[in-house]
Structure formats: C-alpha cells, structure tokens
Amino acid sequence: MITEKSVILQAGNKYIIHMKTYLKRTASAIVMAICSITAFCSCDNAGNDSGKARYIFVFIGDGMGAGHAAVTESYLSYQAGKLGGEELCFTQFPVLGTCTTYSADHHITCSSASGTAIACGEKTLNGYLGVNPDGERLKSIAYDLKEEGYNIGIMSSVPVNHATPASFYGHNTDREDYYNISMEIPESGFDLFGGSGFLQYSGKDGDKTPTPEVLESKGYNVCFGAEEFRQEMDSSEHIVFIQPSGKAENAGNYEVEKPDEEDSRLAEMLQMGIDFLGDDEPFFIMCEGGEIDWAAHDNMTMPMIDAVLRFNEAVETAYHFYLEHPSETLIIVTADHETGGITLGSNGTSTIYWDELVKAYEGGAVPATREEKRNLNDKVCIGWTTDNHTGAPVPLYAIGKGAEKFAGRMDNTDIKGKILN
C-alpha cells in the first residue's frame, strides 16, 4: 500500500534526480555534438560493422500511454509548486514515435500479443505468446541477438514468467501456462533474468518441482535479493534475480499493494543486471515496468504515478550508462498498449485537484471499491474511461545509436526490424 509520505519522498528523490538529469543532459548534448563530429570524420568506434548499437535497452512500460506520462509529469510539477514543466527522463529523449498496438484478432491487444509483436515482429492472437496465430513458434529479437554474440538480459518489476518478459523467451498458446513458460528460461540460453518471482511456482496444481530448483538443475543460479546476487554474480554464468518477497507463491502481488522493504526497486535490479553483463561484450536488455498496467487496471491514480516513477528511475539508470557509451548505446522506451484510457483532466474542468488526490492516499489509505475510486478520480478530475486496455497508440521515445529510425508513425511489429537493421 502506498503512503503519501512515500509518494512525496519518492517525488523528492525524483526531483533531485531530475535536476541531475538536466545537468547530465547538458553534458550529453556536448558529448553528442562531439560524437557527430567524430562520426563525420569516419571515426565511429561502435565496434560493430552492421551499424547496430552495441548496447541495446528496450524499456516497456506495461500499459503506459501518453496520458500516464502526462499525469505523472503534472504530479511532479505540482510537487514543485508549478502548473507544468517537470519532465520524466524518457520524455526528454530527442526522438519521438508513435506505435499502433492492435492484435491479430482484436482492436485492443493483451500484453502477450503485443509483447510478441514487439519481440518477434509479428501480430498474434490475444493470449498467445511467442507463437503466430497458427501456434507456430516465432523467433524473438533476443534469440536473434544472442546468435550475433550479444548477452541477453530479461527483467521485470513483476514475475519473470508474466506476459511481457515471457514474450522475449517463451512460446505458448496460453500466456497463463506459467510453469511451462518458466521451463523455457534455461532452454533460451539467455544470460540474465530478473523479476519479482514466478507465477505457478510449483506448477498449476502445486505438485511440480519448484521452479528455482528446476532452473538451478539446468545451470541457472537463482538468487533471492540483491545481497545474494552481488555475492554470486562473479561466479555465475547464468543468473536469475528474484525479489526476497518472491520466494514463494505470492509473486503475483504488486508493489503498490504489498510493498516489501527488502525488495529492490526496478532501477537497482537493472543496475545489478548491467554490472553482471558488463560492457566487454555487447548486450540487449529488456526491462519492463509491469505494475503500471496493474495500477491502471485498478484506476488507482497515485499507485500508477508511483509505478511510472519507479520505471523512470530504471530508465535513468540506462541513461547514465548511455552517457558513458553514447556512440554505442540505443535506448528505446515504449509501451505494449495503453491501459485505463487515462486523461489529465475530465468533467469539463481545467484544474486537477492534486491536494485532494494526495490527501486521499494519506496514511496508506486507498479507495477500496470501484465506486470509491471512480468518485475520487471524478472529484480531482483525472479521467479514466475503462478498467481494461485501450487501442490508443502508444508513444515511443528513443535516444542513442540508430534512434532516428524510430521517429514518426509505426506499428509495434516494426520495432524489431528497426533495432536489428
């Protein structure tokens, strides 16, 4: 459960980080200018003949449309005593595109069909994962890049076998066949996995060998928490990070409902992943902020904002890496679909009543029923049109090597080809 204090603390931190970003960005502009000059002099040292970025980050804010970013930035501005103008890290990226997200059988996609579209470059049916509408296996970009010598990391703030991360390694006509999806982790040969835990930890009926045991038997070191991960990463070839709270069947809980002090934030998880993979060899990291979608399904405005801020922190981590390797790094931030149909403003008004919204979540209070949530959102003038996904196109933000290919309109199935070519 999120408290006002934690939200304010977080926003305070974000503001400091934001100021740092601003300073970094100034440095970055200079670095980029130097890079353009060196590139012009044919001194591109990317170390990759294909012209592809050596370090690739794909961030997926599950359910995060333009509205979620706008509401979060309005909240940050409110915290800073302004009407607007505060910015997230990724909304400042120089390249902006927009992606359509429909699936092979619906106007409105689910996370496995859109995850598959992003990862594999093909549309499939809602509920399908890493397979085409005929159930035939598709090849995700992670497999393509693995073959090209990239190290692969797949990370999420929600379970490792949930739809979005699973789209990059799994193949199943049922996205909820979680146990069997987990069994594909060692088959993938990917180097790093991270998430809150495993759904169907011991199988659908709880009678199978616990997932970590299976993974350990196949050469994947499963570490519960940052301390264990840091201790064991140097001696591990393949590693799986699981939150301390993910030791059992409760991995389905999401942070805003059940925070665990011991759990690492997504940014920390990503930093561990970057440290594990290192920069000696090229890498591809997919990093998902999964609880943005869950909070948006619930139309819970403050938890949604908290989830976007956590996701933004993770992007900051990658951005810091980019500043150290500007000519070799590509960062893409997008969403698999929009959730909730959120708008900054509703009911014909021109004001958001942030004081009231923040107060409503004070002391860990959360609106419990659908009606309470609707009344609160109505009162403060945050619009939500549905408790499901919508077909609104999602923004794509990009920076770094090859980022310019992502400008303008595209479909989610175009992303894979743009990264690879």
Amino acid at 297: H
Give the shortest CB-255-to-Zn ion separation in angstroms: 16
Nearest CB to Zn ion, comparing residues 288 and 414 = 288
317, 19 in Cβ contact below 8 A?
no
Nearest CB to Zn ion, comparing residues 370 and 379 = 370
3 state DSSP class of 402: coil
Give the shortest CB-389-to-Zn ion separation in angstroms: 6
Give the shortest CB-307-to-Zn ion separation in angstroms: 12
**Per-residue contact track with Zn ion, 288 to 327, x per CB under 5 A?**
-----x----------------------------------
Nearest CB to Zn ion, comparing residues 180 and 388 = 388
DSSP state, residue 124: -
Q: What is the CA radius of gyration of the chain?
A: 20
Nearest CB to Zn ion, comparing residues 86 and 338 = 338
Of residues 275 through 294, those in contact with Zn ion by CB under 5 A are 293
* Distance from C-alpha of 172 to C-alpha of 128, rounded to nearest angstrom: 6
Of residues 40 through 79, those in contact with Zn ion by CB under 5 A are none
* Distance from C-alpha of 62 to C-alpha of 389, rounded to nearest angstrom: 10
Give the shortest CB-160-to-Zn ion separation in angstroms: 17
Residue nearest to Zn ion (CB): 293
* Distance from C-alpha of 65 to C-alpha of 339, rounded to nearest angstrom: 7
Give the shortest CB-68-to-Zn ion separation in angstroms: 13
- Dihedral, CA of residue 204, residue 210, residue 215 and residue 221, to nearest 10: 140
Give the shortest CB-303-to-Zn ion separation in angstroms: 14
Nearest CB to Zn ion, comparing residues 263 and 293 = 293
**Which two tokens mark 119?**
């990862």
58, 64 in Cβ contact below 8 A?
no
- Maximum Cα–Cα distance across the chain: 63
| Under rule CB under 5 A, residue 338 binds Zn ion | no
Please count the residues of this chain forming the interface with Zn ion, following the rule CB under 5 A.
1
Nearest CB to Zn ion, comparing residues 141 and 335 = 335
* Distance from C-alpha of 157 to C-alpha of 266, rounded to nearest angstrom: 6
Of residues 353 through 392, those in contact with Zn ion by CB under 5 A are none
Give the shortest CB-105-to-Zn ion separation in angstroms: 17
Nearest CB to Zn ion, comparing residues 158 and 223 = 158
Give the shortest CB-172-to-Zn ion separation in angstroms: 18
Nearest CB to Zn ion, comparing residues 191 and 293 = 293
Give the shortest CB-363-to-Zn ion separation in angstroms: 29
Amino acid at 299: N
Of residues 98 through 157, those in contact with Zn ion by CB under 5 A are none
DSSP 20-66: HHHHHHHHHHHHHHHHHHHHHTT----S-TT---SEEEEEEETT--H
Backbone angles phi, psi at 151, to 5 degrees: -80, 145
Give the shortest CB-102-to-Zn ion separation in angstroms: 15
| Residue spans of beta strands (DSSP E) within 228-269 | 238-242
Nearest CB to Zn ion, comparing residues 293 and 328 = 293
Buried b vs exposed e over 380-391: b needs ≥16 C-beta within 10 Å? Answer: bbbbbeeeebbe
Nearest CB to Zn ion, comparing residues 316 and 338 = 338
In terms of Cα–Cα distance, which of 200, 186, 117, 201 is closest to 154? 186
224, 247 in Cβ contact below 8 A?
yes
> Applying CB under 5 A, which residues contact Zn ion?
293
